[in-house]
Structure 1
Amino acid sequence: MTNNETGHSDTLAAEKVTVHVTRLEMVSPSSVAVPVPAGIRLAIMLAENMPLHLYRYLYEVIGKPHHWMLRRTQSDEVVSSIIKAEETRILLLYVDGCPAGFAEMHLNLPESVDMHYFGLVPDYQGRGLAKFFFAEVLAAAWSHNPQKLWLETNTLDSPRALQLYQRMGFSPVSTAEEVITLWK
């Protein structure tokens, strides 16, 4: 369907599925040391004043296989106001000069940092980059001195996501069922 209000076009499948959502928290910085992957030129940068088209591209290429839904249903004006908000931080992972992943977090200080999105472009998955990038994202989140970090994952995310989050120090605090509209 085309959203005439935003000019952004995407296809939403009519099919809906129920997913199991796990909410996790981390109450102290991780002690897990993650080495920099060898043989790859890497950079992690804070995206300041991120262009909407780049955000939408990364959100789709990373989120579509996992059926991320919130930002695809929001207007350009809403998404732009969120990604440019003072409390939003977006970190970009570059591999050999190319955008390879992103993480979006929202500072609800001093209480928490909410980790909203984390993922890698499919071309860069399976290279050992996720654990390294996630460790760097966590360090950036903890640099704001929150009391805790929050995140959610569901059964449509990578099958290794929940394991990674728990290995890095997150603990499940609640679960729920949610209906997701599949993205085709």
Structure 2
Amino acid sequence: MADEPKTLTARITHLEMTERSAVSMPTPIGAKLAIMRASNMPVHYYRYLYEQVGKPHHWMLRRKQSDRQVAAVINARATEIHVLHADGCPAGFAEMDLARLPEEVEIVYFGLVPDFQGRGLGSFFLAEMIAQAWWHGPKKVTIHTNSLDNPRALQLYQKMGFKPVGWSEEEVEAWD
């Protein structure tokens, strides 16, 4: 009999920004950086980014979806994916859901590959993604984090101007 997957309880903090933040972040010095919007992203590349960024935090949704389901989401007109490159290497990604415009843009996924954390890239990348979200003209921008994410995520989101508006809990299957 196979072992049952280990489940973890994640406390989710829901955050929103109802006006553009005045916070801006300088481009970090030292690395050659590029943020590129990905179009027609192959599922295998998305899964690579999702695993590299999300595995330490037990991200679950996309790993439970079939390739067909992932392809439908990531290549939908209402989805934008931006990839941060540092010195030519993928260093992180952000996925935005534009389906609820003009009311809301949700930053569904945001994070860095562990090798690129601690270099000031997260603040810079998030500031750029917030600006991109506002470019679409929503009434608010939303994001969420949970107790399994990087412990500095909630602090960073609040520093950038997001305000907590609710909490929930979810059972998450551990990513071993």
Instruction: Please give the TM-score of this superposition, normalised by the length of structure 1.
Output: 0.92
Partner AA of 2:159 in structure 1: R
Contact 1:66 / 1:157 at 8 angstroms: preserved in 2?
Answer: yes
Partner AA of 2:169 in structure 1: E
Alignment pair present for 1:81 and 2:81: no
Give 2:20's aligned residue.
Answer: 29
Partner AA of 2:122 in structure 1: A
Partners of 2:133 and 2:152 lie apart in 1 by 21
CA displacement, residues 18-70 of structure 1 (integer Å, 9 cap, x when unaligned): 12111011001110120000121000011011111110000001100000000
- What stretches of structure 1 of length at least 5 have no aligned partner? 1-11
Alignment pair present for 1:144 and 2:130: no
Give 1:156's aligned residue.
Answer: 148
Partners of 1:129 and 1:120 lie apart in 2 by 8
Partners of 2:50 and 2:4 lie apart in 1 by 17
Partners of 2:129 and 2:117 lie apart in 1 by 17
Give 2:174's aligned residue.
Answer: 182
Partners of 2:4 and 2:114 lie apart in 1 by 21
- What stretches of structure 2 of length at least 5 have no aligned partner? none
1:38-57 counterparts in 2 under 5 A?
38-57=29-48
Q: Secondary structure of 1:158's match?
A: coil
Partner AA of 1:16 in structure 2: T
Q: Secondary structure of 1:14's match?
A: coil
Contact 1:25 / 1:150 at 8 angstroms: preserved in 2?
Answer: yes
How far does residue 17 in structure 1 lie from its aligned partner after superposition?
A: 1.5
Give 2:157's aligned residue.
Answer: 165
Contact 1:18 / 1:179 at 8 angstroms: preserved in 2?
Answer: yes
How far does residue 13 in structure 1 lie from its aligned partner after superposition?
A: 6.9
Partners of 2:23 and 2:37 lie apart in 1 by 22
Partners of 1:110 and 1:19 lie apart in 2 by 30
How far does residue 178 in structure 1 lie from its aligned partner after superposition?
A: 1.2
Partners of 1:13 and 1:92 lie apart in 2 by 34
Alignment pair present for 1:111 and 2:94: no
Partner AA of 1:180 in structure 2: V
Partners of 2:52 and 2:76 lie apart in 1 by 23
Instruction: Please give the TM-score of this superposition, normalised by the length of structure 2.
Output: 0.96
How far does residue 152 in structure 1 lie from its aligned partner after superposition?
A: 1.2
Partners of 2:39 and 2:10 lie apart in 1 by 33
Partners of 1:89 and 1:78 lie apart in 2 by 16
**How many equivalent pairs are there?**
173
How large is the Cα RMSD of the aligned pairs?
1.1
Partner AA of 2:121 in structure 1: L
Q: Secondary structure of 2:82's match?
A: strand
